[in-house]
Chains A and B, each alone.
Chain A
Amino acid sequence: AQSVTQLDSQVPVFEEAPVELRCNYSSSVSVYLFWYVQYPNQGLQLLLKYLSGSTLVKGINGFEAEFNKSQTSFHLRKPSVHISDTAEYFCAVSGRGSQGNLIFGKGTKLSVKP
């Protein structure tokens, strides 16, 4: 079984500042790791994913995340945020070779202030 912990439920930040959204996971098997974004009143959109290979993955809208196996973490970062990045961000895992259902964290609400 897998579980995901997002350490911050809300993160306020000023425009053009850097941001890091933290995610830790627990699993007895190897996993794929994901970050999804949900803009207000919209569905879930895949931001980036880690499947294998390089531990630093880049996604859409300038976001990147780093897989750290020893710390079982997959933190999301952006060097300079925009007002339009205001959204809720979900970290998720699925077991390799599983049927693919996603286990999500509780989400982090990112609020970018001018």
Chain B
Amino acid sequence: GAGVSQSPSNKVTEKGKDVELRCDPISGHTALYWYRQSLGQGLEFLIYFQGNSAPDKSGLPSDRFSAERTGGSVSTLTIQRTQQEDSAVYLCASSYRMAGGYNEQFFGPGTRLTVL
């Protein structure tokens, strides 16, 4: 079946502009994660969604970052007033989450964001 998809694959923006990154998880997967891969910080967890529960936003680096997940499926990560340090690859992953056990995360190809 189809894997996790992300769009756009590449995004170039100017400092101060807002950007939206989209993630389509694998159908039926209840858990969705956003990570950021940057040269300086490596791979970092950003935010976690599980079903209709309140998201865990503990990894978001600033209040310029926000995310939502509509209908328990598609997720959008929004970065407001982008800064050059936001330049990174943003990765989305999804899993079929069952409490108390391990569930493999499947990663999308990522969105490469470049802030000029």
Contact = CB atoms under 8 A, between A and B. Distances in A.
Interface of A: 32, 42-46, 49, 51, 90, 92, 97, 99-107
8 closest A-B pairs by beta carbon, nearest first, are A104-B43, A44-B107, A106-B42, A101-B45, A43-B109, A43-B107, A51-B102, A101-B48
B56 A99 contact: yes
B103 interface: yes
Contacts of A49: 102, 104
Given A32-B102, A100-B103, A102-B43, 16 more contacts: A43-B107, A43-B108, A43-B109, A44-B91, A45-B107, A46-B104, A49-B102, A49-B104, A99-B50, A100-B31, A100-B48, A100-B102, A104-B35, A105-B42, A107-B42, A107-B43
B42 A102 contact: no
Interface of B: 31, 33, 35, 42-45, 48, 50, 56, 59, 91, 93, 95, 97, 100, 102-105, 107-110
A51 B105 CA distance: 14
A103 B109 contact: no
A105 B43 CA distance: 7
| Most A Cβ at <10 Å: residue of B43, B91, B97, B104 | B43
Given A43-B110, A105-B42, A107-B42, A100 B105 contact: yes
Contacts of B35: 102, 104
Contacts of B44: 104
A100 B59 contact: no
A97 B97 CA distance: 11
Given A32-B102, A43-B108, A43-B110, A103 B42 contact: no
